[in-house]
Structure 1
């Protein structure tokens, strides 16, 4: 070395392989400053600066030109890093038993815009998926954003890699419906050229919560949730979503918790799917479902506002006990370091957290000595955020290559 400063271009070329890791650190909030980015990447301060500048030039992050020091920090203040709120978005869609919702999802798990559609989900998936994409196209037009790709969340196990809905018991689709193919065709028809993905709604919710919500920092995360109908589960192992050999892992809805309970769609009896979902709660509480709002909204509202009624309290306790029994069995098998609950299950947890945690601790082998934390999901529309995450993943892996492919 002759003592001369290394040209910026050379530093950038040396650090270009760090663009993806750097973007993911900012995306997940783990690098709020350039100093933290330097430390996390294990590179020189000059290289971290060049990497941050390149990501800013790509329109993905913003580097605050007025550095500030955090509370308790020492030394020279570092530049602050954040995702660019005016940057590109992913189109995310979710189909559920009462219709669909679409959103534009930016980096950082931010929902930029969203719209819902209530309708009967017909046996032909093309009808509701076409409506989803049309609603998404309208949002993109209104926001004027570049789109990096699209993700779809469905209330069914999704066989990989073909993307077929393997067991959509709560909507009218036939088993094996080619939802990935249909969704891709509709997305391509509106001019989106980025990658297109399809996944189970609870799997995608768990991914979103692990990166941006109640699951952050967990190595082995169990997510159990009930949305509009039925119960789903997902597992993050070693920081990565576990879907099994063909995408069909962790169908927790068919774990039996009440041998004398309701017949289940799987052929069994008393499964979580039919004993702890919104319809089960309304039935236990002696309520007839109404047409004005979704089953989830009706059940969640009743849990929150009907506690003075003995029938509602009894129904709440019965569902908590069944849910706790199922969670204890899963703890015995999976030994997660955290459990997060979504949908109506989050409402049940909030209604009586001590009861639910006591059931889990009492019935799990390790519960008495080392209780597993049980938390509620924290993200609004987490399945949509997760659908956005999988659409963003190619950009997180290779920012330059993925964005170049969109414009190439």
Structure 2
């Protein structure tokens, strides 16, 4: 991860173009130190009222009120003085992200194309723009296309953009932001993706350089699911997904991604689940990467992929056909068994309390709702008594949502940074 440069309410007007700190703003005292945690609670929906914010922060009502007022003055939060429905005792103001507040640019690159969207606080994406990869697909050309597509969205929006972040289907080293083993993009190992992305954004977006960041797509999807989706409240969340090619995974512990010493942890796609299996781009055979991705499912069903239609869409058609087609059923069962082996190995090592599946894996779970958990339980050291739930991802575009989370993170850490120098 590399940083560069760095519900409806009716009571709050849209913020000014660049909100400042008004004269006479409340003295926050202790509350200043909880501005970031307070914004994070509102951002993730955990503090929908001032009363809930007071309890979650363990502060006085006066401090919670001052914190909410400061966040409202920064154009980040809307405070509605009408009491929340069904509240007992003293009425509590309702809190929500400001509907006209600032946005960030979220971007994603995958084997079948690129996507960009604007996102405000609260985990809600604007309408994404999905585009094909340019040809040839070298890093410079692809990242320029991402930046130009994002710049068009920013120019068309009346809301101020605070930063940009990119999700890529490759390990990304920390803190330098180098892409390693970008085999499904055919990029050279060691591509300085964070520096290139920052430079292309600076060229495409007028004005002062925006803070930028880049990270692995599975890591960002896991973060998004933990904050806004099926992983909410999990203490140790394991996320496994295959969206287009290959398999990604991530672990969120105590609300933070476990990325290892250099950002390269949880490369689950390199787990071997069939030593005699399909050849992997890494040079070995039978890796989870090539045994449980969309291409593997199509191969198991004897289907030659259509070069025009996205692989994920073609693979999802096979999972739907499994209900009535014996060939599709056998293909699903084969891939499910391989996926179960891999997940069981991860459970034995990581001991998560929740597993969320994304991409084609959530469709495999829907097509084999008993078989997949059964394989995991059979191969797991703790067996069925472990009771680790397998859940489908809840977000429609978790990679993009996660990129937005990455771009918002500096302001969740320090909301006062919104006001600028």
Q: Shorter-normalised TM-score: what interval? A: over 0.9
- The match for 2:311 among 275, 278, 295 is 295
Please say if residues 105 and 113 of structure 1, whose CA atoms lie closer than 8 Å, have aligned partners that are also in contact: no
From 94, 98, 110, the equivalent of 2:124 is: 110
2:366 equivalent in structure 1: 350
Q: Is 1:64 the counterpart of 2:80 in the alignment? A: yes
Deviation at 1:58, TM superposition (A): 1.1
Displacement of 1:166: 0.7
1:267 alignment partner, SS class: coil
Residue 184 (structure 1) aligned to one of 179, 193, 198:
198
Contact 2:81 2:92 in 1 (8 A): no
Q: Which TM-score applies when normalising by structure 1?
A: 0.94
Report the Cα offset of residue 85 of structure 1. 2.0
Residue 121 to residue 20, structure 1, CA distance change in 2 (3 Å): farther
- Which blocks of at least 5 consecutive residues in structure 2 are unaligned? 1-23
Q: Does 1:90 align with 2:111?
A: no
Q: Work out which of the residue numbers 2, 25, 47 in structure 1 matches 2:63.
A: 47
C-alpha deviation, 1:124, in angstroms: 2.1
Match of 1:206 among 210, 222, 225: 222
**Partner Cα separation in structure 2 for residue 122 and residue 16 of structure 1:** 50
Conserved 8 A contact 1:124-1:173: yes
- Supply the distance in 1 between the matched residues of 2:328 and 2:171 (Cα, whole angstroms): 32
Larger mean CA deviation between 165-174 and 113-122 belongs to 113-122
Aligned to 1:150: 164
Does the 8 Å CA contact 1:224/1:234 hold for their aligned counterparts?
yes
- Cα distance in 2 for residues equivalent to 1:34 and 1:80: 6
Partner of 2:54: 38
Structure 2 length as normaliser, TM-score?
0.91
Cα shift at 1:294: 0.7
Which 5+ residue runs of structure 1 have no aligned equivalent?
Answer: 1-7
CA contact (8 A) 1:149 1:195 kept: yes
- How far apart, CA to CA, are the structure 2 residues paired with 1:120 and 1:390? 25
Does structure 2 conserve the Cα–Cα contact (< 8 Å) formed by 1:114 and 1:139? no
For 2:418, the equivalent position in structure 1 comes to 403
- Is the aligned partner of 1:169 residue 2:190? no
Change (3 A) 1:123 1:139: closer
Residue 34 of structure 1 and its aligned partner are, at CA, apart by: 0.3
Counting matched residue pairs gives 396
Alignment of 1:9-408 (within 5 A): 9=25, 11-70=27-86, 73-119=87-133, 122-189=136-203, 190-191=205-206, 193-400=209-416, 402-405=417-420, 408=421
3-state DSSP of counterpart to 2:343: helix
- 1-structure distance, mates of 2:280, 2:135: 21
Deviation at 1:147, TM superposition (A): 0.8
3-state SS of the aligned residue for 1:253? helix
User: Are the aligned partners of 1:231 and 1:276 in contact in 2 as well (CA < 8 Å)?
Assistant: yes
Give distance in 1, aligned partners of 2:292 and 2:192: 29
Mapped to 1, the partners of 2:317 and 2:221 lie a distance apart of 22
For residues 377 and 409 of structure 2, the distance between their equivalents in structure 1, rounded to whole angstroms, comes to 37
CA distance in 2, matches of 1:121, 1:372: 44
Q: Which moved more, 1:9-18 or 1:38-47?
A: 9-18
Classify 1:121/1:268 alpha carbon distance in 2 versus 1 (closer, same or farther; 3 Å).
Answer: farther
Compute the displacement of 1:121 (Å). 6.1
Structure-2 change in CA distance of 1:142 and 1:123 (3 Å): closer
- The worse-fitting range, judged by mean Cα deviation, of 147-156 and 112-121 is 112-121
CA distance in 1, matches of 2:237, 2:195: 30
Q: Runs of 4 or more off by more than 6 Å in structure 1?
A: none
Q: Tell me the equivalent position of 2:11.
A: none
How many Å separate the matches in 1 of 2:25 and 2:325? 69
Distance 1:120 1:272, change over 3 A: farther
Contact 1:113 1:139 (C-alpha < 8 Å) held by counterparts: no
Q: Is the 8 A contact 2:134 2:145 kept in 1?
A: no
Q: Deviations over 1:277-311 (max 9, x none)?
A: 00111111111111332101111122124531111
Deviations 1:60-106 (A, max 9, x none): 11111211233xx4212211111112111111110000110011111
Task: Report the Cα distance in structure 1 between the residues aligned to 2:365 and 2:198, rounded to whole angstroms.
Answer: 38
RMSD between aligned residues: 1.4
After TM superposition, the structure 1 stretch with the greater mean CA deviation from structure 2, 8-17 or 281-290, is: 8-17
SS state at 2:383 partner: coil
Cα deviation, residue 111, structure 1 = 0.1
Say which is worse superposed, 140-149 or 19-28, in terms of deviation: 140-149
